[in-house]
Protein backbone atom coordinates (compact mmCIF):
# COMPACT_ATOMS: atom_id res chain seq x y z
CA UNK A 1 0.00 0.00 0.00
CA UNK A 2 1.21 3.44 -0.74
CA UNK A 3 2.51 5.96 1.70
CA UNK A 4 -0.15 8.64 1.63
CA UNK A 5 -2.94 6.08 1.46
CA UNK A 6 -1.49 4.39 4.52
CA UNK A 7 -1.23 7.68 6.32
CA UNK A 8 -4.69 8.87 5.44
CA UNK A 9 -6.24 5.60 6.49
CA UNK A 10 -4.86 5.93 9.98
CA UNK A 11 -7.28 6.68 12.77
CA UNK A 12 -7.42 10.36 13.46
CA UNK A 13 -6.93 9.88 17.22
CA UNK A 14 -3.77 10.75 19.13
CA UNK A 15 -2.73 13.84 17.25
CA UNK A 16 0.42 15.55 18.26
CA UNK A 17 0.29 19.03 19.64
CA UNK A 18 0.94 21.76 17.14
CA UNK A 19 4.39 22.41 18.60
CA UNK A 20 5.30 18.78 19.11
CA UNK A 21 6.83 17.82 15.80
CA UNK A 22 10.42 16.80 15.52
CA UNK A 23 10.65 16.43 11.79
CA UNK A 24 13.13 13.82 10.72
CA UNK A 25 14.53 15.97 7.91
CA UNK A 26 16.08 18.26 10.47
CA UNK A 27 17.15 15.64 12.96
CA UNK A 28 20.54 14.49 11.81
CA UNK A 29 23.79 16.14 10.85
CA UNK A 30 25.19 13.00 9.25
CA UNK A 31 24.41 13.07 5.53
CA UNK A 32 24.16 9.31 5.15
CA UNK A 33 21.94 8.94 8.16
CA UNK A 34 19.85 11.88 7.16
CA UNK A 35 19.19 10.47 3.72
CA UNK A 36 18.27 7.12 5.17
CA UNK A 37 15.81 8.77 7.50
CA UNK A 38 14.14 10.44 4.56
CA UNK A 39 13.12 7.34 2.64
CA UNK A 40 9.62 6.06 2.18
CA UNK A 41 9.71 3.24 4.68
CA UNK A 42 8.93 5.13 7.84
CA UNK A 43 5.47 6.66 7.71
CA UNK A 44 4.64 7.46 11.30
CA UNK A 45 2.40 10.47 11.56
CA UNK A 46 -1.32 10.76 11.01
CA UNK A 47 -2.64 12.95 8.20
CA UNK A 48 -5.60 15.04 7.20
CA UNK A 49 -8.88 13.36 6.51
CA UNK A 50 -10.85 16.50 5.85
CA UNK A 51 -11.70 20.02 6.78
CA UNK A 52 -15.36 19.43 7.32
CA UNK A 53 -15.07 17.64 10.65
CA UNK A 54 -13.50 18.41 13.99
CA UNK A 55 -12.71 21.70 15.63
CA UNK A 56 -10.76 24.32 13.76
CA UNK A 57 -7.68 23.66 15.88
CA UNK A 58 -7.87 19.93 15.09
CA UNK A 59 -8.24 20.66 11.40
CA UNK A 60 -5.31 23.07 11.58
CA UNK A 61 -3.03 20.38 13.01
CA UNK A 62 -4.30 17.84 10.51
CA UNK A 63 -3.73 19.96 7.40
CA UNK A 64 -0.35 21.23 8.60
CA UNK A 65 0.70 17.65 9.29
CA UNK A 66 -0.21 16.57 5.76
CA UNK A 67 2.28 19.06 4.28
CA UNK A 68 5.04 17.50 6.32
CA UNK A 69 3.91 14.00 5.41
CA UNK A 70 4.31 14.82 1.75
CA UNK A 71 7.99 15.47 2.48
CA UNK A 72 8.54 12.08 4.09
CA UNK A 73 9.88 10.26 1.01
CA UNK A 74 12.14 13.18 0.08
CA UNK A 75 15.78 13.97 0.63
CA UNK A 76 16.73 17.48 1.76
CA UNK A 77 18.20 18.02 -1.72
CA UNK A 78 14.81 17.23 -3.30
CA UNK A 79 13.30 20.04 -1.26
CA UNK A 80 15.46 22.96 -2.39
CA UNK A 81 15.61 22.82 -6.22
CA UNK A 82 13.36 24.91 -8.49
CA UNK A 83 12.91 23.18 -11.86
CA UNK A 84 11.19 26.07 -13.68
CA UNK A 85 9.83 29.55 -12.93
CA UNK A 86 6.25 28.27 -12.54
CA UNK A 87 7.29 25.72 -9.92
CA UNK A 88 8.66 26.37 -6.46
CA UNK A 89 10.97 24.36 -4.22
CA UNK A 90 9.23 22.19 -1.62
CA UNK A 91 10.97 24.18 1.09
CA UNK A 92 9.47 27.40 -0.28
CA UNK A 93 5.95 25.91 -0.17
CA UNK A 94 6.53 24.84 3.45
CA UNK A 95 7.66 28.34 4.37
CA UNK A 96 5.11 30.28 2.31
CA UNK A 97 2.10 28.45 3.76
CA UNK A 98 3.50 29.28 7.20
CA UNK A 99 4.05 32.90 6.18
CA UNK A 100 0.34 33.03 5.28
CA UNK A 101 -0.69 32.16 8.85
CA UNK A 102 1.93 34.45 10.36
CA UNK A 103 0.93 37.39 8.14
CA UNK A 104 -2.84 37.09 8.11
CA UNK A 105 -3.60 35.40 11.46
CA UNK A 106 -0.84 36.08 13.98
CA UNK A 107 0.29 39.61 13.14
CA UNK A 108 -3.22 41.13 13.19
CA UNK A 109 -4.52 39.09 16.13
CA UNK A 110 -1.65 38.65 18.60
CA UNK A 111 -0.72 41.94 20.31
CA UNK A 112 3.05 42.46 20.25
CA UNK A 113 3.67 39.46 18.00
CA UNK A 114 7.34 39.22 17.04
CA UNK A 115 7.89 37.73 13.56
CA UNK A 116 9.99 34.57 13.49
CA UNK A 117 12.47 36.30 11.18
CA UNK A 118 12.18 39.86 9.81
CA UNK A 119 13.31 38.83 6.31
CA UNK A 120 10.73 36.07 5.88
CA UNK A 121 7.99 38.55 5.03
CA UNK A 122 9.95 39.41 1.89
CA UNK A 123 11.29 35.93 1.10
CA UNK A 124 8.03 34.02 1.43
CA UNK A 125 5.41 36.51 0.27
CA UNK A 126 4.17 35.12 -3.05
CA UNK A 127 2.26 37.95 -4.72
CA UNK A 128 0.58 40.14 -2.09
CA UNK A 129 1.57 43.69 -3.04
CA UNK A 130 -0.50 45.08 -0.17
CA UNK A 131 1.83 43.25 2.23
CA UNK A 132 5.05 44.40 0.56
CA UNK A 133 7.79 43.59 -1.93
CA UNK A 134 8.47 39.98 -2.86
CA UNK A 135 11.61 38.02 -3.61
CA UNK A 136 11.43 37.19 -7.37
CA UNK A 137 9.52 34.00 -8.02
CA UNK A 138 11.90 32.60 -10.70
CA UNK A 139 14.78 32.84 -8.23
CA UNK A 140 13.28 30.87 -5.36
CA UNK A 141 15.61 28.00 -6.14
CA UNK A 142 18.65 30.19 -5.57
CA UNK A 143 18.03 30.48 -1.85
CA UNK A 144 20.24 28.02 -0.01
CA UNK A 145 19.34 29.77 3.25
CA UNK A 146 17.23 29.56 5.34
CA UNK A 147 17.95 25.85 5.46
CA UNK A 148 15.27 23.20 5.46
CA UNK A 149 15.56 22.65 9.21
CA UNK A 150 15.18 26.42 9.74
CA UNK A 151 11.96 26.30 7.72
CA UNK A 152 10.65 23.44 9.86
CA UNK A 153 11.55 25.49 12.96
CA UNK A 154 9.58 28.37 11.42
CA UNK A 155 6.58 26.12 10.82
CA UNK A 156 6.62 24.80 14.37
CA UNK A 157 7.03 28.24 15.94
CA UNK A 158 4.02 29.51 14.02
CA UNK A 159 2.09 26.34 14.88
CA UNK A 160 2.77 26.95 18.57
CA UNK A 161 1.61 30.56 18.30
CA UNK A 162 -1.58 29.48 16.50
CA UNK A 163 -2.16 26.81 19.16
CA UNK A 164 -1.86 29.49 21.84
CA UNK A 165 -4.42 31.56 19.97
CA UNK A 166 -6.77 28.59 19.83
CA UNK A 167 -6.21 27.95 23.56
CA UNK A 168 -7.41 31.47 24.26
CA UNK A 169 -10.65 30.64 22.45
CA UNK A 170 -9.51 32.17 19.22
CA UNK A 171 -11.09 29.53 17.03
CA UNK A 172 -14.55 30.61 18.19
CA UNK A 173 -14.06 34.11 16.84
CA UNK A 174 -15.85 34.29 13.50
CA UNK A 175 -13.43 36.61 11.68
CA UNK A 176 -10.44 34.68 12.92
CA UNK A 177 -12.10 31.40 12.02
CA UNK A 178 -12.69 32.50 8.45
CA UNK A 179 -9.07 33.55 7.89
CA UNK A 180 -7.72 30.35 9.47
CA UNK A 181 -10.11 28.40 7.28
CA UNK A 182 -8.78 30.26 4.24
CA UNK A 183 -5.22 29.52 5.37
CA UNK A 184 -6.01 25.80 5.58
CA UNK A 185 -7.51 25.72 2.09
CA UNK A 186 -4.53 27.74 0.89
CA UNK A 187 -2.20 25.14 2.36
CA UNK A 188 -4.17 22.35 0.69
CA UNK A 189 -3.69 24.14 -2.63
CA UNK A 190 0.03 24.24 -1.97
CA UNK A 191 0.06 20.55 -1.04
CA UNK A 192 -1.11 19.81 -4.57
CA UNK A 193 1.51 22.20 -5.94
CA UNK A 194 4.19 20.46 -3.89
CA UNK A 195 3.38 17.21 -5.68
CA UNK A 196 3.09 18.71 -9.16
CA UNK A 197 6.26 20.77 -8.73
CA UNK A 198 8.08 17.73 -7.42
CA UNK A 199 6.89 15.68 -10.39
CA UNK A 200 8.30 18.29 -12.76
CA UNK A 201 11.57 18.34 -10.84
CA UNK A 202 11.93 14.56 -10.93
CA UNK A 203 11.11 14.43 -14.65
CA UNK A 204 14.07 16.76 -15.27
CA UNK A 205 16.32 14.07 -13.82
CA UNK A 206 17.44 11.37 -16.32
CA UNK A 207 17.23 8.86 -13.48
CA UNK A 208 13.42 9.43 -13.43
CA UNK A 209 13.26 9.12 -9.64
CA UNK A 210 10.31 7.43 -7.99
CA UNK A 211 8.52 9.39 -5.27
CA UNK A 212 6.31 6.51 -4.29
CA UNK A 213 6.07 3.04 -5.87
CA UNK A 214 2.74 2.11 -7.40
CA UNK A 215 1.52 -0.94 -9.28
CA UNK A 216 -0.25 -0.16 -12.56
CA UNK A 217 -2.88 -2.64 -13.70
CA UNK A 218 -2.56 -2.70 -17.47
CA UNK A 219 -5.36 -5.27 -17.80
CA UNK A 220 -8.13 -2.75 -17.09
CA UNK A 221 -10.15 -1.71 -20.11
CA UNK A 222 -12.46 1.26 -20.35
CA UNK A 223 -15.80 1.16 -22.13
CA UNK A 224 -16.60 3.54 -24.97
CA UNK A 225 -17.70 7.08 -24.25
CA UNK A 226 -21.43 7.54 -23.80
CA UNK A 227 -23.16 10.89 -23.92
CA UNK A 228 -24.99 12.35 -20.94
CA UNK A 229 -27.63 15.00 -21.55
CA UNK A 230 -26.86 18.13 -19.55
CA UNK A 231 -29.20 20.56 -17.83
CA UNK A 232 -30.42 23.36 -20.09
CA UNK A 233 -32.38 26.58 -19.84
CA UNK A 234 -32.00 29.28 -17.22
CA UNK A 235 -30.09 27.74 -14.32
CA UNK A 236 -28.22 28.95 -11.26
CA UNK A 237 -24.55 28.35 -10.61
CA UNK A 238 -22.03 29.58 -8.07
CA UNK A 239 -21.63 29.29 -4.33
CA UNK A 240 -24.01 30.55 -1.69
CA UNK A 241 -24.43 29.72 1.97
CA UNK A 242 -22.25 29.55 5.06
CA UNK A 243 -19.89 26.75 4.05
CA UNK A 244 -16.39 27.64 2.91
CA UNK A 245 -15.81 28.72 -0.68
CA UNK A 246 -13.33 31.06 -2.33
CA UNK A 247 -14.55 34.54 -3.21
CA UNK A 248 -14.34 33.78 -6.95
CA UNK A 249 -17.06 31.08 -6.65
CA UNK A 250 -19.79 33.64 -6.13
CA UNK A 251 -22.15 35.36 -6.23
CA UNK A 252 -24.58 32.65 -7.24
CA UNK A 253 -26.27 33.83 -10.41
CA UNK A 254 -28.41 32.72 -13.32
CA UNK A 255 -26.97 31.52 -16.60
CA UNK A 256 -28.58 30.49 -19.87
CA UNK A 257 -27.44 27.00 -20.84
CA UNK A 258 -28.05 25.68 -24.33
CA UNK A 259 -28.88 22.03 -25.06
CA UNK A 260 -25.73 19.92 -24.83
CA UNK A 261 -24.28 16.54 -23.96
CA UNK A 262 -21.18 15.72 -21.93
CA UNK A 263 -18.94 12.70 -22.30
CA UNK A 264 -19.57 10.03 -19.70
CA UNK A 265 -15.89 9.82 -18.75
CA UNK A 266 -12.53 11.48 -19.30
CA UNK A 267 -10.58 11.10 -22.55
CA UNK A 268 -8.15 8.18 -22.27
CA UNK A 269 -4.53 7.79 -23.35
CA UNK A 270 -5.72 5.34 -26.01
CA UNK A 271 -7.90 8.01 -27.55
CA UNK A 272 -5.16 10.59 -27.29
CA UNK A 273 -2.72 8.19 -29.00
CA UNK A 274 -5.22 7.96 -31.88
CA UNK A 275 -5.18 11.75 -32.09
CA UNK A 276 -1.38 11.69 -32.19
CA UNK A 277 -1.31 8.91 -34.81
CA UNK A 278 -3.70 10.94 -36.95
CA UNK A 279 -1.25 13.83 -37.01
CA UNK A 280 -2.86 15.72 -34.15
CA UNK A 281 0.33 17.61 -33.34
CA UNK A 282 1.12 18.28 -37.02
CA UNK A 283 -2.22 19.63 -38.29
CA UNK A 284 -2.58 23.39 -37.75
CA UNK A 285 -6.26 23.32 -38.72
CA UNK A 286 -6.97 21.57 -35.40
CA UNK A 287 -5.32 24.23 -33.28
CA UNK A 288 -6.06 27.71 -32.04
CA UNK A 289 -3.57 30.17 -33.47
CA UNK A 290 -1.91 30.83 -30.12
CA UNK A 291 -1.91 27.11 -29.41
CA UNK A 292 -0.16 26.26 -32.68
CA UNK A 293 2.40 28.96 -31.98
CA UNK A 294 3.00 27.57 -28.49
CA UNK A 295 3.21 23.98 -29.75
CA UNK A 296 5.78 25.10 -32.33
CA UNK A 297 7.88 27.12 -29.89
CA UNK A 298 8.06 24.24 -27.42
CA UNK A 299 8.22 21.40 -29.96
CA UNK A 300 5.27 19.58 -28.40
CA UNK A 301 4.67 16.10 -29.84
CA UNK A 302 2.89 14.48 -26.90
CA UNK A 303 1.57 15.35 -23.43
CA UNK A 304 4.06 16.55 -20.85
CA UNK A 305 5.87 13.66 -19.11
CA UNK A 306 5.53 11.38 -22.14
CA UNK A 307 8.93 10.07 -23.16
CA UNK A 308 9.72 7.93 -26.19
CA UNK A 309 11.95 4.90 -25.66
CA UNK A 310 12.74 2.71 -28.70
CA UNK A 311 9.69 4.06 -30.52
CA UNK A 312 7.32 3.35 -27.63
CA UNK A 313 5.68 6.11 -25.60
CA UNK A 314 6.15 5.93 -21.87
CA UNK A 315 4.79 8.30 -19.33
CA UNK A 316 6.39 9.51 -16.15
CA UNK A 317 4.39 9.49 -12.94
CA UNK A 318 5.36 9.93 -9.31
CA UNK A 319 5.97 6.17 -9.41
CA UNK A 320 8.61 6.54 -12.14
CA UNK A 321 8.67 5.85 -15.86
CA UNK A 322 6.24 3.25 -17.22
CA UNK A 323 4.54 2.33 -20.48
CA UNK A 324 1.54 4.49 -21.35
CA UNK A 325 -1.57 2.82 -19.96
CA UNK A 326 -4.21 3.13 -22.71
CA UNK A 327 -7.17 2.95 -20.30
CA UNK A 328 -6.17 5.75 -17.96
CA UNK A 329 -7.18 9.38 -18.50
CA UNK A 330 -4.73 11.42 -20.54
CA UNK A 331 -3.07 13.92 -18.28
CA UNK A 332 -0.71 16.91 -18.33
CA UNK A 333 -2.16 18.42 -21.48
CA UNK A 334 -2.51 22.16 -21.97
CA UNK A 335 -5.76 23.91 -22.81
CA UNK A 336 -4.44 24.16 -26.36
CA UNK A 337 -3.98 20.38 -26.64
CA UNK A 338 -7.35 19.71 -25.00
CA UNK A 339 -9.02 22.10 -27.42
CA UNK A 340 -7.23 20.58 -30.45
CA UNK A 341 -8.20 17.08 -29.36
CA UNK A 342 -11.82 18.12 -28.97
CA UNK A 343 -11.84 19.66 -32.45
CA UNK A 344 -10.24 16.50 -33.90
CA UNK A 345 -13.01 14.47 -32.21
CA UNK A 346 -15.69 16.75 -33.72
CA UNK A 347 -16.58 17.91 -30.22
CA UNK A 348 -15.73 20.84 -27.96
CA UNK A 349 -14.73 21.40 -24.36
CA UNK A 350 -17.50 21.99 -21.80
CA UNK A 351 -18.22 25.44 -20.49
CA UNK A 352 -17.74 25.84 -16.77
CA UNK A 353 -21.50 26.34 -16.42
CA UNK A 354 -22.21 23.00 -18.11
CA UNK A 355 -19.58 21.32 -15.95
CA UNK A 356 -20.93 22.75 -12.70
CA UNK A 357 -24.51 21.74 -13.45
CA UNK A 358 -23.29 18.19 -14.17
CA UNK A 359 -21.24 18.10 -10.96
CA UNK A 360 -24.07 19.46 -8.83
CA UNK A 361 -25.92 16.20 -9.41
CA UNK A 362 -23.01 13.94 -8.44
CA UNK A 363 -21.09 15.32 -5.44
CA UNK A 364 -17.60 14.13 -4.56
CA UNK A 365 -17.45 10.87 -2.62
CA UNK A 366 -14.92 8.71 -0.80
CA UNK A 367 -14.60 6.60 -3.94
CA UNK A 368 -13.20 9.47 -6.03
CA UNK A 369 -9.51 9.47 -6.87
CA UNK A 370 -8.25 12.30 -4.70
CA UNK A 371 -5.04 12.61 -2.69
CA UNK A 372 -6.61 10.45 0.01
CA UNK A 373 -6.80 7.50 -2.41
CA UNK A 374 -3.01 7.48 -2.51
CA UNK A 375 -2.64 6.76 -6.24
CA UNK A 376 -1.16 10.15 -7.14
CA UNK A 377 -2.11 9.37 -10.72
CA UNK A 378 -5.41 9.35 -12.64
CA UNK A 379 -7.14 5.97 -12.72
CA UNK A 380 -9.12 4.27 -15.50
CA UNK A 381 -12.90 4.64 -15.35
CA UNK A 382 -14.70 1.65 -13.92
CA UNK A 383 -16.67 -0.53 -16.28
CA UNK A 384 -19.90 0.04 -14.33
CA UNK A 385 -21.97 2.11 -16.72
CA UNK A 386 -25.02 2.38 -14.49
CA UNK A 387 -23.74 5.52 -12.84
CA UNK A 388 -22.88 8.20 -15.35
CA UNK A 389 -21.03 10.49 -15.67
CA UNK A 390 -17.78 9.14 -14.22
CA UNK A 391 -14.57 10.75 -12.96
CA UNK A 392 -16.29 14.08 -12.32
CA UNK A 393 -14.22 14.72 -9.19
CA UNK A 394 -10.59 13.77 -8.71
CA UNK A 395 -8.29 12.11 -11.27
CA UNK A 396 -7.56 15.21 -13.40
CA UNK A 397 -8.57 18.85 -13.51
CA UNK A 398 -10.86 19.26 -16.50
CA UNK A 399 -10.17 22.13 -18.87
CA UNK A 400 -13.24 24.16 -19.72
CA UNK A 401 -13.76 26.55 -22.61
CA UNK A 402 -14.59 29.31 -20.11
CA UNK A 403 -12.21 32.18 -19.52
CA UNK A 404 -11.50 32.89 -15.88
CA UNK A 405 -13.47 36.08 -15.31
CA UNK A 406 -15.56 37.53 -12.51
CA UNK A 407 -19.12 36.37 -11.96
CA UNK A 408 -21.76 39.14 -12.14
CA UNK A 409 -21.59 41.21 -8.97
CA UNK A 410 -18.24 39.77 -7.84
CA UNK A 411 -16.30 41.94 -5.43
CA UNK A 412 -12.91 40.83 -4.12
CA UNK A 413 -12.48 41.23 -0.35
CA UNK A 414 -10.86 44.40 0.88
CA UNK A 415 -7.18 44.46 1.75
CA UNK A 416 -4.38 42.07 0.87
CA UNK A 417 -6.66 39.00 0.91
CA UNK A 418 -8.48 40.58 -2.03
CA UNK A 419 -5.37 39.75 -4.06
CA UNK A 420 -5.94 36.00 -3.57
CA UNK A 421 -8.09 35.38 -6.66
CA UNK A 422 -9.50 38.51 -8.25
CA UNK A 423 -6.37 39.99 -9.76
CA UNK A 424 -5.73 36.89 -11.87
CA UNK A 425 -8.90 37.24 -13.92
CA UNK A 426 -7.13 37.73 -17.24
CA UNK A 427 -5.65 35.32 -19.82
CA UNK A 428 -6.46 32.15 -17.87
CA UNK A 429 -8.89 29.28 -18.41
CA UNK A 430 -11.12 27.70 -15.78
CA UNK A 431 -10.51 24.08 -14.78
CA UNK A 432 -12.95 22.06 -12.69
CA UNK A 433 -13.18 18.97 -10.53
CA UNK A 434 -9.85 18.53 -8.75
CA UNK A 435 -7.20 15.92 -9.34
CA UNK A 436 -5.52 12.89 -7.83
CA UNK A 437 -3.30 15.36 -5.93
CA UNK A 438 -6.18 17.44 -4.50
CA UNK A 439 -7.63 16.80 -1.07
CA UNK A 440 -11.23 15.69 -1.26
CA UNK A 441 -12.22 18.13 1.48
CA UNK A 442 -10.79 20.94 -0.65
CA UNK A 443 -13.12 20.40 -3.63
CA UNK A 444 -16.75 21.11 -4.44
CA UNK A 445 -18.92 21.59 -7.52
CA UNK A 446 -18.51 25.37 -7.52
CA UNK A 447 -14.69 25.33 -7.20
CA UNK A 448 -12.99 27.30 -9.97
CA UNK A 449 -9.33 26.56 -10.60
CA UNK A 450 -7.50 28.59 -13.23
CA UNK A 451 -4.29 28.30 -15.21
CA UNK A 452 -2.86 29.89 -18.34
CA UNK A 453 -3.79 27.95 -21.51
CA UNK A 454 -0.21 26.76 -22.06
CA UNK A 455 0.18 25.25 -18.54
CA UNK A 456 0.81 21.49 -18.55
CA UNK A 457 2.43 20.61 -15.25
CA UNK A 458 -0.80 20.34 -13.30
CA UNK A 459 -2.83 17.10 -13.46
CA UNK A 460 -5.00 18.48 -16.28
CA UNK A 461 -7.10 16.40 -18.67
CA UNK A 462 -10.09 16.39 -20.99
CA UNK A 463 -13.85 15.84 -20.85
CA UNK A 464 -15.73 16.41 -24.09
CA UNK A 465 -18.96 18.22 -24.82
CA UNK A 466 -21.12 18.51 -27.89
Residues at the contact surface with Fe ion, assessed by CB under 5 A? 126
CA distance 358 to 352: 10
User: Which H or E run contains 261?
Assistant: strand 261-263
Least distance (Å) between residue 126 CB and Fe ion: 5
Q: Between residues 93 and 295, which has the closer beta carbon with respect to Fe ion? A: 93
- Residues 201 and 368: their CA atoms lie apart, in Å, by 27
**Nearest approach, Cβ of 90 to Fe ion (angstroms)?**
14
Q: Which of residues 83 and 126 has its CB atom nearest to Fe ion in the complex? A: 126
Query: Between residues 49 and 126, which has the closer beta carbon with respect to Fe ion?
Result: 126
Nearer to Fe ion, 155 or 463 (CB): 155
d(CA 418, CA 130) in angstroms, rounded, equals 9
By beta-carbon proximity to Fe ion, the closer residue of 137 and 283 is 137
Cβ-proximal residue to Fe ion, closest one = 126
Q: Is 208 exposed, middle or buried (0-12, 13-18, 19+ CB in 10 A)?
A: middle
Q: How far is the CB of 193 from Fe ion (least distance, A)?
A: 8
- Chain-centroid distance of CA 133 in Å reads 26
CB of residue 94 to Fe ion, shortest distance in Å: 12
Quick check: 197 and 74 in contact, CB under 8 A?
Answer: no
Separation in Å, CA 192 to CA 33, 141, 268, 396? 28, 19, 22, 12
What's the closest the beta carbon of residue 363 comes to Fe ion, in angstroms?
A: 27
Are β-strands 227-229 and 233-237 bridged in parallel, bridged antiparallel, or unpaired?
Answer: unpaired
Shortest spacing between CB 182 and Fe ion, in angstroms: 11
Q: What is the CA radius of gyration of the chain?
A: 22
Of the pair 126, 446, the CB lying nearest Fe ion is at 126
199 burial via Cβ count (<10 Å: 0-12, 13-18, 19+) = buried
With residues binned 3-state (H G I as helix, E B as strand, rest as coil), the percentages for the chain, rounded to 5, are 40, 10, 50
State the minimum distance, in angstroms, from the CB of residue 330 to Fe ion: 28
Of the candidates 156, 144, 149, 154, the one whose C-alpha atom is nearest the C-alpha of residue 29 is: 149
What's the min distance (Å) between Cβ of 128 and Fe ion? 9
- Cβ-based neighbours of 351, under 8 Å, separated by 6 or more: 257, 400, 401, 402, 465
Instruction: State which residue, 294 or 449, has the beta carbon closest to Fe ion.
Output: 449
Residue 89 or 389 with smaller CB distance to Fe ion: 89
Question: 2 or 104: whose CB is closer to Fe ion?
Answer: 104
Q: Are strands 312-317 and 233-237 parallel, antiparallel or unpaired?
A: unpaired
- CB atoms near residue 73 (< 10 Å): 22
Please, which residues bridge with residue 449 across strands?
431
Q: Kindly state the DSSP code that residue 430 receives in the 8-state scheme.
A: E
Cβ proximity to Fe ion, 131 vs 436, nearer residue: 131
Q: Helix, strand, or coil here: 257?
A: strand
Residue 261 CB, shortest distance to Fe ion, in Å, is: 37
Least distance (Å) from Fe ion to the CB of residue 349? 27
Q: Which residues pair with 253 in a beta bridge?
A: 237
Amino acid sequence: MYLIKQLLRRTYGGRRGAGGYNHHLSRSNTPGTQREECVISSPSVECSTGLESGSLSERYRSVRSTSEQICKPLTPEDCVIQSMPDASPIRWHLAHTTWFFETFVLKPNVPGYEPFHPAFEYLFNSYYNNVGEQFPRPKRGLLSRPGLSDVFDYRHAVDRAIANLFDRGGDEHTDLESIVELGLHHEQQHQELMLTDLKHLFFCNPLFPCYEPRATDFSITTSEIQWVTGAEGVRSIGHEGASFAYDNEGPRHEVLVHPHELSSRLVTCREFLEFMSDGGYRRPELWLSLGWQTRTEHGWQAPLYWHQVDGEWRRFSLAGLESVNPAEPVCHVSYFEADAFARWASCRLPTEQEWELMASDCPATEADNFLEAGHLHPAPATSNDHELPKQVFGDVWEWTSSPYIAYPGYQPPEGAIGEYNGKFMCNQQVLRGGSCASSRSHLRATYRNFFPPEARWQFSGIRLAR
